[in-house]
Amino acid sequence: MDTTVEQIGAAVVADLRAADYMESTICQYEKSIRALSAFVDGHGGAYTPALGAVFASMTISPRTGRFSAQRRFGYSRLVGLFDAYVTTGRMDLGPRTRGGGGARPQSSEFAGLLASWEMDMEERDLAPATRAAYGRVAQAYLVFLEAQGGCCFDVADGASILGFFESLLDRWAVSSLPWVISNFRPFLKFSGRSDLVDALGLLGAKRSHGILPVLSDTDQELVVQACASGIVSARDAAITLLALTTGLRACDIAGLRLGDIDWHAKTIGIIQQKTKNPLTLPLVSLVAARLAEYIVDERPDSGDDHVFLRSKAPHTGLADHASIYRVTADAFSKAGVADVKAGTRFLRHSAASRLLRAGVGLPTISAVLGHADPESTNTYMSVDEHRLLECVLPLPEGVRS
Outline where 93-203 has alpha helix (H): 108-123, 128-147, 158-168, 177-190, 194-200
Which residue would you say has higher pLDDT here, 199 or 356? Answer: 199
CA distances from 96 to 77, 81, 84, 320 (A): 8, 11, 14, 10
What pTM value is reported for the model? 0.63
First and final C-alpha spacing in the chain: 89
CATH class of 108-203: mainly alpha
Query: Mean pLDDT score of the chain, rounded to an integer?
Result: 83
Quick one: how far is CA 112 from the chain centroid? 26
Q: What is the mean pLDDT of residues 155-169?
A: 90
Decide if pLDDT at 122 tops 70.
Answer: yes
Q: Give yes or no for a contact between 237 and 331, defined as CB atoms under 8 angstroms apart.
A: yes
Question: Tell me, what's the pLDDT at 213?
Answer: 67
8 Å CB contact between 341 and 347: no
The answer, yes or no, to whether residue 247 has pLDDT greater than 70, is: yes
What percent of the chain stands above pLDDT 90?
31
CATH, domain range 217-387: 1.10.443.10
Most confident of 335-339, 354-358, 397-401: 335-339
Reported for 63-67, long-range contacts at CB under 8 A and 24+ positions apart, including other chains, are none
Check: CB of residue 260 under 8 Å from CB of residue 269.
yes
* Predicted local confidence at residue 372, as pLDDT: 60
Region of poorest pLDDT, from 132-141, 191-200, 303-312, 361-370: 361-370
Annotated domain spans of the chain: 5-88, 108-203, 217-387
Q: Choose the most confident range, by mean pLDDT, from 92-106, 113-127, 293-307.
A: 293-307
Beta bridge partners of 270: 279
Mean pLDDT across the stretch 164-170? 85
Q: Could you tell me the CA-to-CA distances from 188 to 108, 117, 140, 149, 364 in Å, in that order?
A: 18, 10, 13, 20, 35
Contact 39, 55 (CB under 8 A): yes
Q: Is the pLDDT of residue 4 over 60?
A: yes
Q: Does the structure show a pLDDT above 70 at 6? A: yes
SS3 content of the chain, % helix, strand, coil (to 5): 60, 5, 35
Say how far apart CA 186 and CA 325 lie, in whole Å. Answer: 27
Q: Tell me whether residue 209 is exposed, middle or buried, using C-beta atoms within 10 angstroms of its C-beta: 0 to 12, 13 to 18, 19 or more.
A: exposed
Residue 197 has pLDDT above 90, yes or no: yes
Q: Where is average pLDDT lowest: 2-16, 112-126, 354-368?
A: 354-368
pLDDT tens readout for residues 65-113? 887 878 888 888 888 888 888 888 777 776 655 444 567 788 889 989 9
Measured between alpha carbons, how far is residue 264 from residues 256, 261, 268 in Å?
A: 17, 9, 11
Beta bridge partners of 269: 280
pLDDT digits (tens, 9 = 90+) for 22-60: 888 888 999 999 999 999 988 877 888 888 888 888 888
**Residue 64 CB contacts under 8 Å (≥ 6 apart), including other chains:** none
Confidence of residue 210 (pLDDT cuts 50, 70, 90): low
Residue 8 has pLDDT above 80, yes or no: yes
Which pLDDT band, with edges at 50, 70 and 90, does 394 fall under?
Answer: low
Residue 113's nearest CA partner among 149, 151, 148, 147 is 151
Confidence of residue 339 (pLDDT cuts 50, 70, 90): confident
Please tell me the distance from the alpha carbon of residue 153 to that of residue 274, in angstroms, as a whole number. Answer: 30
Question: CA 224 to CA 244: how far, in whole Å?
Answer: 9
pLDDT single digits (tens) 264-293: 999 999 988 877 888 888 899 999 999 999
